[in-house]
Structure 1
Amino acid sequence: MITIEDLIRRYADDIAYVAQEPAASDLGTFINQLEVTVPRYSDAGINGHEDLETAAGHLNEACGNADESVRNAFLQRADELLYPIVWDMTQEYRDAVDD
């Protein structure tokens, strides 16, 4: 089972880099930063930004759901989208902006 803290720990630094903000420490901030990064990845021509948008939607659903099993399912779906792409996309972004 994935937790909100796990998601933030795994992805917040990379997402914050692209969002040009300090790393998120709560889910609301993390979702906002995901939403900021989608057009930045897209503008840089980096594939996968649609999955970030979908993951942000799943995390929004998780936030608003009182049913623990449903919330956990949305968190899991978000992680399944984020895990294979966030690090690679951020490395591509770094290369694109020459950082």
Structure 2
Amino acid sequence: MTTQTETAAPTADMILARYASDVADLAEEQPATTLAELANQLRTAAENLEGTDINGGDELETAAQYLTDGNAATDDNTRTVLLGKAAEYLTDVYGMANDYRDAS
């Protein structure tokens, strides 16, 4: 018998807890406390990465758009899908933030 491991769909709180600190470092700001703030910081972080050799700015822009759309969604299923997509694009944030801190 094969069992599947289910992972919890990301919530706003989970995304903020997991990514806000590293994104704040990339944006050179204080950690976001809302999805809207995090989306804005992701856009700033993408701009900051443009002047470096660190890849990932496009992924941050895409994640920001999914967060913005997910935050505005009125349907719970749509919100869950969009936040999940955003989380997929944020998987490399930790490494980007480490590289950015090392380059500073």
Q: Please classify the TM superposition score into its range, dividing by the shorter chain length.
A: over 0.9
Of 47, 55, 58, 1:39 maps to 47
- Larger helix proportion of the pair: 1
- TM-score, normalized by length of structure 2? 0.88
| Structure 2 residues without counterparts, runs of 5 or longer | 1-8
Question: Following TM superposition, where does structure 1 have runs of at least 4 consecutive aligned residues deviating by more than 3 angstroms?
Answer: none
Partner of residue 33, structure 2? 25
Instruction: Check if 1:96 corresponds to 2:103.
Output: yes
Instruction: Check if 1:64 corresponds to 2:77.
Output: no
- CA shift digits 1:18-76 (9 cap, x unpaired): 21211111111111111110011121121111001000010111011101101100000
- TM-score, normalized by length of structure 1? 0.92
CA RMSD of aligned residues (A): 0.9
| Structure 1 residues without counterparts, runs of 5 or longer | none
CA positional deviation for 1:77 = 0.4
